[in-house]
Structure 1
Amino acid sequence: MTTAVRQPPHHRNTVCIKLYGCQLPDCRARYNERRRAIAAGQQQPARILIDATETREHIQTLQDLGMSLSGIARLAGVRHPTICAFVNPRPTMRRGRRQQTTPQTAARILAVRPLTVIGAIRRMRALAHLGWPTSHVARHAGISPRRAWELRPNSVISVGLAEKIAVAYEELRTTTADEHGVDAWKTALSRKRAKTNRWPDPAYWADRMDAIDDPDFEPMYGLTRREIIAHDAHELIRFSGLSRAAAAERLGVSKAYVEHAFRDHPQYAVEVAA
């Protein structure tokens, strides 16, 4: 009875010789060259690996928030199979899921944050200033109007949907809906909604595109100087512990100006010390 000789899965490194006894001339030459390098102290340092538990848990947290593995991979700038290996058991891995990873891969994945819908909403609201109804923006993005209307702030959005709306925004932000034959009553209604709700327009976001997707960024659009002072004084007093006089000095105005600002905009004066 003869026993079949096990064949190496590939011949890219010295594993085929060490584990399978490969005798191919190229493999033997590569193996001998590596041995000589080791003997001469020229061996390349081993690749640094770290425990993958934190990375895997971060991926699972993002999944629980509604993000797909493919979306996480795209935001992290790594291959989709790389992400899958952290959470999905693979028969080719002795311990199922990936147990170690490089610091570089871990850093890329850990830097991924949930992609909220706020950026998509801000883009559609900005286009309303140009008369674009949500339904028209949605169709231009290749999605159903109902899907666009159902978007809610602070919810998670897929990378693919966010990219479609971002592309549509870039294509529409320099033109008006009137130029594309949208009914006048629809464009007027869109502009009225944008103005009434004080949604930032494309010109406002042009210098703030790095913040348009940031849910923690608070647009200060359409506000008077006095309202901005009231807002900033409120932040300084509440979170920095300054007095009204100190906050006024920091903002370059008088204490009386801050008092008047709070009087005109009492929502900022709530629970603020004198």
Structure 2
Amino acid sequence: MTTTRTPNRQAPPHGTPARYQGPRRHNDWQPCRCTDCRTAVRRAEKIQELRRRRGHNSYISRETVATHLRTLLDNGWTGQMVADAAQINRKTVWNILNADIATVRHDTAQAVLALAPTRRPDGTVPSVGTRRRAHALAAMGWPLSWIAEQAGLSFTGLRDISAGRTKSVKGTYRDAIDALYRTHSMRPGPSQVARRTALRKGWVTAAAWDGAAIDDPSATPETSCDSNLNRNGLAALRRADVEHLDGFGVSVEEIARRLGMAESTVKGIVKELRAGERRNRSKAAA
């Protein structure tokens, strides 16, 4: 009978107390007694003694650390990611979350609390903010295909993000779509089809999100501020699109093709716009 041995975990770097002490349960690496590791242990002991003399608490409530740990996990971190980034044992992460303990050592707690939920060690970030930004752009008439091209990712990739099938994205993609969101989310885009699709799927515009709430998985949009494109708002944007293209001499047929509208509807809007212009000129002449 043969057994499969799990690969050894990566040893903590030299110059840390964890490398000096070695693994607690698994023989993944050997404790190190080099000068850097011994110095790190002595420094940690001196810091702990100094804190004790100054009356500082050497322990922090487990629930405080566990709450932050759960936030990290909710944002796509794994227990091993936390252990590696905080330079602690994977078992310590499990104990903080599940063990019947009341406190966590101060240095361990600080190492965990210093980890930012939105930036993982592998360079990825939660996709929720990127998904909502793409929805807001589409709700204003910017097609997903255009967003993907401008951000430098594939249309299939952005489609999966917008559908919620992708839970994390590269930080570079998140930043690229955020830049588009900042410059275009309050401007009407050229695609009526994108707006109609967004309206049908219940996607909201940027006006529905209050500041950093767009990146908060627990936040909900403020639909009461008319951030959803209602019928009147949709008609106004459609009319503005037609007026813009007609002003550049684009034909009715081409306008209808670009905006995904019926030619008869475009003809009616153009007729109203031109009639309004004539009425304005006649009033100015009078």
TM above 0.5: no
Normalised by the size of structure 2, how large is the TM-score?
A: 0.41
Quick one: higher RCO (CA 8 Å, sep 6+), 1 or 2? 1
